[in-house]
A = this chain, B = another copy of it.
Amino acid sequence: MKQRLLLAPTLREAPSDAEVVSHQLLLRAGYIRQVAAGVYHYLPLGRRVLRKLEEIIREEMDRIGAQELLMPAIQPTELWQASGRYEVYGPELIRLQDRHGREFALGPTHEEVVTTLIGQEISSYRKLPLTVYQIQTKYRDEKRPRFGLLRGREFLMKDAYSFDIDEEGLDAQYWSMHNAYHRIFTRAGLRYLAVEADAGAIGGEGDTHEFMALTDIGEDTIVTCSSCQYASNLERAYAGAEQHASQEEQALEPPLAEARAFVPPMEQVSTPQVKTMEELMQFFKQEAKQMIKTMIVVADGKPAAVLLRGDHEMNETKVKNALQANELELADEDTIIRVTGAPHGFAGPVGLQVPVLIDAHAAGLREAIVGANQVDAHLRHVVPGRDFALPQVGDYRNVAEGDPCPRCEGTLQFQKGIEVGHIFKLGKKYSEPLHAAFLNEQGREQTMTMGCYGIGISRLLATCAEQLNDANGLTWPSEIAPFQVHIIPVSIKDDAQRDACEQLYAKLTAQGVEVLLDDRDERIGVKLKDADLIGIPLRIVCGRDLAEGLVEVKKRTEADKRLFSIEEAMQEALQMKR
């Protein structure tokens, strides 16, 4: 491709609303343009990278025997009613009416549609296992689209769905897909981790892993162990101690019970204006881990309380799952007053009339300080189980850095990550309500066992850009670069330079190398700046050394430039071929 006519408008400055480096660079280097919040054009360079990612994904899906199909974005909402997700998805599900008033959704995912299809078309165990996938545009009306392609409202996905006779079959397909994902992200040149995850709105009760690209701007916190392979999303991570402490019996094992026998009776203390954990610590001269904080939450509209040790943070996912809720939020002041009888800062477990979840660490305290459910008052010498009941002890907190690993003797560490892939064992979550069944070898009807497997392709593009860059621009590896070689004459008006570049361009192109030739009438400084910004892995500059038959060859990721004969440069360039 010749650069003069290429639609790749580079910008010196990124728009001020581009907060993260991938968004800035993709805009500045002319890969994408915004149409509306969370809705983008992929300009030719961006489209090329997107297609490379699509092809990698296709190859790896085909390799594990997944079959490509294409399902529509427009989906009858009846299917979402049938699966029970019509409500769960809320305003993120874009709904529309056709001219006859029938309601449709723009698919954010295709479990309902594919389960219905396969349920209708497959009737015998002989056609199983089956994995289908598609590369298709998805829609989600994000509350806050941001970070360019990282959180868009229209985005490209690869979504795959597996159908099996039983859990064993699902397990095989799940791990085969797991391996395929490793190959895909490795080929894309990504630094990433596969982590244990929460199934969220899509999943069932089975295994689920997220593939997390490691980057400081990640919205997810990844928990890893200092010594073993344990890796989990913070949403789901648990610490070593929890394995035991989460048993209510453990919390009340004899030594603790004995120690509690010596705790004086509960006592109310006047604590005017003492609301925050810090104020409490100062007032009582005690550490946070000797307090229990009582968080009032609203789960699907109903209030509940969550008790945590003062130094711990609530894990919303764990609480949501425990309450089997779709939506969870912290209660507002009115609700707190209604539930506890006191304003924010004085809530406590004693006498509460709403459902109470107690984190095992809180439940395991010998005694604690808690709010008194009265303004300006707290209770001390409060013993869990003695002064308030322990109906639902469990793990409701975020693990903290330094916590013990649940799998080994190591300690837990935090990193930030962006989810680029997510695989789920769905089990029968969709096949049951949508009646996807088959006749088994014995001729009996049996419900299919499903898995689903997604990769956000446009997000992957942005994530690669987020990791693969330096101060001057993007630094693509050749497998996903829009072009592999960038040929730049110092002056396009110099006949010898132009001819040499054109010849090299023609030869490499004929050999299947994707080459961008900068035939613009621009100063060399401008051309090199643009070249760095665009980030093609190998650059060949043809200048005055051409008189001696030499050209300058430089890898985008390396500092040193080398003078090569044209033949040597050509050999170097052929190495870049995908």
Query: Which residues in A have some Cβ–Cβ distance to B below 8 Å?
Result: 1, 4-7, 9, 33, 35-36, 39-44, 46-48, 50-51, 65, 67-76, 91, 94-96, 98-99, 102, 104, 106, 113, 117-118, 120-122, 126-127, 129-130, 132, 134, 137, 139, 141, 143, 153-154, 521
Contact = CB atoms under 8 A, between A and B. Distances in A.
Contacts of A141: 98-99
B72 A40 contact: yes
Contacts of A36: 74, 76, 102, 104
B7 A121 contact: yes
B9 A121 contact: yes
Nearest to A7: B67
Nearest to A155: B72
Contacts of A7: 67, 69, 118, 121-122, 127, 130, 132
A153 B7 CA distance: 31
A44 B132 contact: yes
A74 B139 contact: yes
A44 B94 CA distance: 27
Contacts of A70: 41-42, 46-47, 50
B4 A126 contact: yes
A72 B39 CA distance: 7
The residue among A40, A43, A74 with the most chain B CB atoms within 10 A of its own CB is A74
4 closest A-B pairs by CB? A42-B70, A96-B96, A44-B67, A9-B121
Given A41-B117, A73-B73, A132-B7, A143 B33 contact: no
Contacts of A67: 1, 5-7, 44
B130 A5 contact: yes
A75 B35 CA distance: 8
A274 B48 CA distance: 69
Contacts of A35: 71-72, 74-76, 113, 117
Given A33-B121, A67-B6, A72 B113 contact: no
A42 B135 CA distance: 12
Contacts of A75: 35
A41 B71 contact: yes
Given A7-B121, A126-B521, 14 more contacts: A5-B129, A7-B69, A33-B117, A35-B74, A35-B76, A42-B69, A44-B67, A44-B68, A44-B132, A46-B70, A91-B99, A94-B96, A94-B98, A99-B141
A41 B72 contact: yes
A47 B69 contact: yes
B9 A65 contact: no
A73 B5 contact: no
Nearest to A6: B67
A65 B98 CA distance: 38
A440 to B, nearest CB: 17
14 contacts: A5-B67, A7-B67, A9-B121, A9-B122, A35-B74, A35-B113, A36-B74, A40-B72, A44-B68, A46-B69, A73-B154, A74-B139, A98-B141, A99-B143
A438 B75 CA distance: 42
Nearest to A116: B35
Contacts of A154: 72-74
Contacts of A118: 7
Contacts of A71: 35, 41-42
A6 to B, nearest CB: 7
Nearest to A95: B96
